[in-house]
Structure 1
Amino acid sequence: MNASLDTCMTRTIRSDIQGMHAYAVQPSAGMVKLDTMENPYRLPEHLQQALGERLGRIAINRYPAERTDDLRAALATHAGLPEGCALTLGNGSDELITMLSMACDLPGAAIMAPLPSFVMYGMSAALQGIRFIGVPLTADFELDEPAMLAAIETEKPTLLYLAYPNNPSANLWDDAVIDRLIEAVGRIDGLVVIDEAYQPFAARDSMNRLQRYPNVLVMRTMSKFGLAGVRIGYLMGRAPLIGQIDKLRPPFNISVLNAEAGLFALEHVDEYARQAAAIRSERERLLRELAELPGVHPFPSQANMILVRVPDSAAAFAGMKERGVLVKNLGRMHPLLVNCLRLTIGTPDENVQMMDALRASL
């Protein structure tokens, strides 16, 4: 007699996984899509044509090989990778986070991050069966230094994630506080990963910390740069450390099409820099307009998104969606995010539609 599917899953699938929720992506067809921090700009038509012709010449019948090495070298140059450091590639930052969880999965290991922050830090730890420690931020989304230092001393995390700027709060944290946290983790021989997914929109970065601290890794992605559909993440750190993490990278994890698209983008970095400047300009305009709305509190942003607190985030989200604008309702994600929406910065026209929809939905 054949076993039932329920019985089969009970025997073969971990119970904690059966109790988890999958990462949710909102349907967005026909909407002004401002919920996932994408760059809203496409390439100019002449560059679209040039990229299409270039991709058409690729030998897609072959596995990726040297072209991935070319991409790694181009990214190292673009980022200004210091001497003695190396870089490994991931299929987006998500795969790099998975690789880090696998690498750090020692008996008694723990992964720590301030909360709220990127959900994949905790999810990846849970999927790997590693204890996750979340330390709440302050009410204005700053690092709670005393609480973080106490947790580092007590819990002795194997790895600490610091998103810089943070997601979803979009702010840059105090550099002196970050350095003291890095030094505290260093005293217990742990690693610190500084996640710079939103670096193109921020006033500061952490590349100098790669030279100052041997236990620091800097993680970036080309998604916010303008290639969210291409899925390229990269992790930088001291060469011996990257060499160990690179062993966990699946073979051929970056396709030849993705590698070529990434190289093409880096050859036209001026176009992407122009797009980032336009997004930063729109961000500042939106911050001013949001501050003038009664009952709306926008938080400072150094990313391509703005966190806002409104009187009723569920009602505002629903009202905006009815008017064809999709944003992210974070009201139930964490106690600090009650009645908060996350607004991605779009094109000027999209931002006008977003503001009109928000005003009408308050």
Structure 2
Amino acid sequence: MSFPSTVLNTFRPDVLAMHAYVVQSAAGYIKLDAMENPFELPAHLQAALGERLGRVALNRYPGARVFDLHQALRTHARIPAEMGLVLGNGSDELISLLSVACARPGAVALAPLPGFVMYEAFARQTGMKFVGVPLTADFELDTAAMVAAVREHGPALTYLAYPNNPTANLWDEVAMQAVVDAVAANGTGLVVIDEAYQPFASRSWFDKLASQPHVLLMRTLSKFGLAGVRLGYMVGRADLIEQVEKVRPPYNVSVLNIEAALFALEHADEFARQAETIKAERERLMAALATMPGAKAYPSQANMVLVRVADAAGTFAALKARGILIKNVSALHPLLANCVRLTVGTPAENDAQIAALAELLREPLPLNAA
């Protein structure tokens, strides 16, 4: 049976104009394009996790076990009892839920750019207006521009990724505080601090939450080492978190997600060890890039490094031809012209990445590319 093409008009015009999020195939490649923890669990932990997941009641909806995960996360992250906590199927779902909960007519979401693309995507999907404020040329917060935008637009949601993606840097605390204060001065609106890359960063905003009741903080277990499990959490003032909880779908976190996350938190020392290795490898990758005339690497506090090269598309293609998959981010924003993003891999993966880049980036950057 065929249907008339006009059936597509059932969908909103803005949805018809969108592009779906596409994940490129990584089969056969060294996968360094998605900021994943590159380490698998040791064999004995794999066996223990497999046995444990095998006992999970897949025939039942998630039940009280989710509250065990709440408590385990509170203990792990030292979340005070008076703060609210809500779980999401990754941080992405939490951003979506915030947009749903705050999408009053005329509501604005605001974020620095370049930044995590899902802030804008979910805002627009729920009918919110999105306002992006460019970073400086060195990918720092433009404090004056951010404060002016907050005053002009009165955003319902102001996102600050700490560290930022894809630039990987931690912004200046004074600049961050100026934005947080500007939102508070408006008398309405939330600041959402996204600490997805916290395992690799030297600073956190967490200890400031108690004195900043309009600030919510998001984290995820994806970068912790569980990207495939899809589990994010958000904390903040209990009555604010309660409003997000109201729009959370029932059973959004599966029994397998819950059990795998509990297992990981019980073995947090293993994931902490992996994070330390990743941080050491990041410094080794940064040191190697500093010797390459055709590369300008920017400071990183995440498990990725942003690098400006003479030809981002050419560098991406050449690495792919050598069996290494990275991310060409040059088209995401004008400030990212000729930039690629490298994930920090295992020592062996980084050896291959460094060797290939050293061969490709031997010629100095042209002045207009630096």
Q: In the aligned structure 2, how far is the partner of 1:220 from the partner of 1:178?
A: 18
Q: Does 1:288 align with 2:303?
A: no
SS in 1 for 2:300: coil
Residues 61, 83 of structure 1: alpha-carbon distance in 2 compared, 3 angstrom cutoff: closer
Candidates 65, 75, 78, aligned match of 1:77? 75
Match of 1:170 in 2: 168
TM-score by length of 2: 0.96
Alpha-carbon contact 1:325-1:354 (below 8 Å) kept: yes
Alpha-carbon contact 1:319-1:360 (below 8 Å) kept: no
Alpha-carbon contact 1:327-1:342 (below 8 Å) kept: yes
When structure 1 is superposed on structure 2, of 18-27 and 291-300 the one drifting more is 18-27
After TM superposition, list the pairs within 5 Å mapping 1:275-354 onto structure 2: 275-354=274-353
Instruction: Report how far residue 21 of structure 1 moved.
Output: 1.1
Q: In the aligned structure 2, how far is the partner of 1:2 from the partner of 1:311?
A: 50
Instruction: Report how far residue 130 of structure 1 moved.
Output: 0.6
Q: Does 1:264 align with 2:263?
A: yes
Q: In the aligned structure 1, how far is the partner of 2:231 from the partner of 2:170?
A: 23
Alpha-carbon contact 1:298-1:309 (below 8 Å) kept: yes
Candidates 130, 133, 139, aligned match of 2:131? 133
Deviations 1:183-227 (A, max 9, x none): 110122110000000000000111112101000000000000000
Q: Which amino acid aligns with 2:327?
A: K
Q: In the aligned structure 1, how far is the partner of 2:251 from the partner of 2:335?
A: 40
Q: In the aligned structure 1, how far is the partner of 2:268 from the partner of 2:344?
A: 20
Moved over 2 A (4+): 359-362
TM-score by length of 1: 0.98
Residues 341, 2 of structure 1: alpha-carbon distance in 2 compared, 3 angstrom cutoff: closer
Q: Which amino acid aligns with 1:157?
A: P
Q: In the aligned structure 2, how far is the partner of 1:2 from the partner of 1:200?
A: 52
Q: In the aligned structure 2, how far is the partner of 1:266 from the partner of 1:132?
A: 36
Candidates 38, 60, 67, aligned match of 1:40? 38
Instruction: Report how far residue 165 of structure 1 moved.
Output: 0.2
When structure 1 is superposed on structure 2, of 171-180 and 34-43 the one drifting more is 171-180
Match of 1:59 in 2: 57
Q: In the aligned structure 2, how far is the partner of 1:99 from the partner of 1:116?
A: 22
Candidates 120, 123, 137, aligned match of 2:121? 123
Q: In the aligned structure 2, how far is the partner of 1:62 from the partner of 1:330?
A: 42
Match of 2:218 in 1: 219
Q: Which amino acid aligns with 1:165?
A: P
Q: In the aligned structure 1, how far is the partner of 2:2 from the partner of 2:339?
A: 50
Match of 1:198 in 2: 197
Match of 1:147 in 2: 145
Match of 2:206 in 1: 207
Match of 2:365 in 1: none
Deviations 1:291-322 (A, max 9, x none): 11012100000000000001111110000000
Q: In the aligned structure 1, how far is the partner of 2:347 from the partner of 2:327?
A: 19
Instruction: Report how far residue 356 of structure 1 moved.
Output: 1.8
When structure 1 is superposed on structure 2, of 215-224 and 19-28 the one drifting more is 19-28
SS in 2 for 1:303: coil
Instruction: Report how far residue 2 of structure 1 moved.
Output: 7.0
Q: In the aligned structure 2, how far is the partner of 1:244 from the partner of 1:132?
A: 21
Q: In the aligned structure 2, how far is the partner of 1:141 from the partner of 1:83?
A: 36
- What is the number of residues matched between the two proteins? 360
SS in 1 for 2:72: helix
Deviations 1:30-77 (A, max 9, x none): 000000000000000000000000011111110001111111111111
Unaligned runs of at least 5 residues, structure 2: 362-370
Deviations 1:106-150 (A, max 9, x none): 121000000000000000011111100000000000000010011
Instruction: Report how far residue 3 of structure 1 moved.
Output: 4.6
Alpha-carbon contact 1:87-1:242 (below 8 Å) kept: yes
Match of 1:95 in 2: 93
Give me the CA root mean square deviation: 1.1
Q: In the aligned structure 1, how far is the partner of 2:194 from the partner of 2:47?
A: 33
Q: Which amino acid aligns with 2:154?
A: K
Residues 2, 33 of structure 1: alpha-carbon distance in 2 compared, 3 angstrom cutoff: closer
Q: Does 1:28 align with 2:23?
A: no
Q: Which amino acid aligns with 1:122?
A: E
